[in-house]
A = this chain, B = another copy of it.
Amino acid sequence: MISPERLTAQLAHLNKISAPDMGPGIHRLAFTDSDWQARGYLMQLMEDAGLTVQEDAFGNVIGHRTGADDSLPAVMLGSHADSVPSGGNYDGIVGILAAIETIRSLQQDCFKNEHPLEVVLFMCEESSRFGAATLGSRAMRGTLTPDELHRFTDKDGHSLYEILQSRSLRPEDIASAKYAKPLKAFFEVHIEQGRVLEHSRIPLGIVTGIAAPTRLRVHLHGSADHSGATPMALRHDGSCAAAEIILAVEHAATLHSDPPVVGTVGILRVHPCAMNVIPGETELGIDIRSISSAAKAETVRIVYASIRAICQKRSIPYDIEEISNETPVIMKPAVTDFLAGLCHTQGKNFIKLPSGAGHDAMHWADYAPTGMLFIPCRDGISHNPAESAERNDIVSVTEILEQAVRTATKQSFEF
């Protein structure tokens, strides 16, 4: 049985573990004292749940529950406990507590899992300290390089390598953190960090994929002329060209709905940004995401063509720099259908939805059947002290996670 009281108490305990004197919210940047304190607390909870706790060279915590045949591939559960500055008490935390509570429940009724189980606290999921995200997962997948450990530095100039050393971890042995054993499945619970569930009034989401961005930086070289002395027909107005591009991005994104595409112009700067000067140099930062590589590529293609046509029409030279083009992750239908079946059996309302944000789970989807469950967070707010999730929703998603584990650890079960 999943215990609402235990989850509530653990959430309350973690809500107090934050760097002092930093203002509202959770301040638990990766590998800082408060993060280390939360890690210690979670290791204790893992031990209380009967797990055998180990750490890898990067500091990821792996709690092992022996299977009836411990040589079989494990079922892995996990999430993170670090936070952004002024973060909330649910991002990551809900996932790691749901995983530990699942094991607690198995412990209580002496469940005999055939496959072994592993609960992983992934370190350094947030990019806030070192400018790069999901580093613990990357270490376990063997894709975090020694070079990056030296190259990634925090705002005080300390390299990730130095920081790992200061925690008595083994950056020189980062290759040993690679998870080399086969895995039967990976599951992660997380808050949605969006408003789709809340808007649908549905308390549970099964993630169909994790979107990855293509990001463009566009520079428009308009003419910064006098706003009074330049007739409309003689202008090369950077803000007008930018306006057409913004609406072209919005329109291109709405052409795809299944799977959806989102397109955002989050960065917009005009120069000289003065009331009496037509904007000349104008910069746009465009972020296009989908869980479908094809839909994303098609949208990016339309955006490029739109920019070309708009700038040609307005005689404005431009540059486009593709600053990232990541590959989305699609969750196997076998896994989403498995989770949907459990929800039906348990009488729980759910929808399937893509994740717009990145998560640890995205690093496991190409390695093992991977499932991810979302719960709503109030007003979609995350990375903010106002982040909030309902206890009932946390309990409910943990019950599905537990059922998933009870089923997936059976040797007779195959995805």
Contact = CB atoms under 8 A, between A and B. Distances in A.
Contacts of A277: 266
A274 B383 CA distance: 14
A278 B260 contact: no
A225 interface: yes
Contacts of A181: none
Interface in A258-274: 260, 262-270, 273-274
Interface in A195-243: 195-196, 199, 211, 213, 215, 225-232, 234, 237, 239-240, 242-243
Contact of A227 (B250, B260, B356): B356
If over half of A's interface residues share one DSSP class (helix, strand or loop), that class is named, otherwise mixed; here it is: mixed
Contact of A232 (B192, B254, B287, B357): B254
A268 B273 contact: yes
A323 to B, nearest CB: 8
Contact of A230 (B242, B268, B278, B380): B380
Contacts of A285: 274-275
Contacts of A279: 265-266, 268
A237 B276 CA distance: 26
Contacts of A398: none
A262 B357 contact: no
Nearest to A277: B266
A194 interface: yes
A38 interface: no
A231 B196 contact: yes
A274 B278 contact: no
A396 interface: no
B268 A274 contact: no
A94 interface: no
Nearest to A238: B268
Contacts of A124: none
A370 interface: no
Given A246-B239, A262-B231, A357 B226 contact: yes
Contacts of A322: none
26 contacts: A194-B225, A194-B229, A194-B234, A196-B231, A213-B275, A226-B380, A227-B264, A227-B266, A227-B287, A227-B356, A230-B380, A231-B262, A232-B253, A232-B254, A237-B250, A239-B265, A239-B268, A240-B247, A242-B243, A242-B268, A243-B246, A266-B275, A266-B276, A267-B274, A267-B275, A268-B273
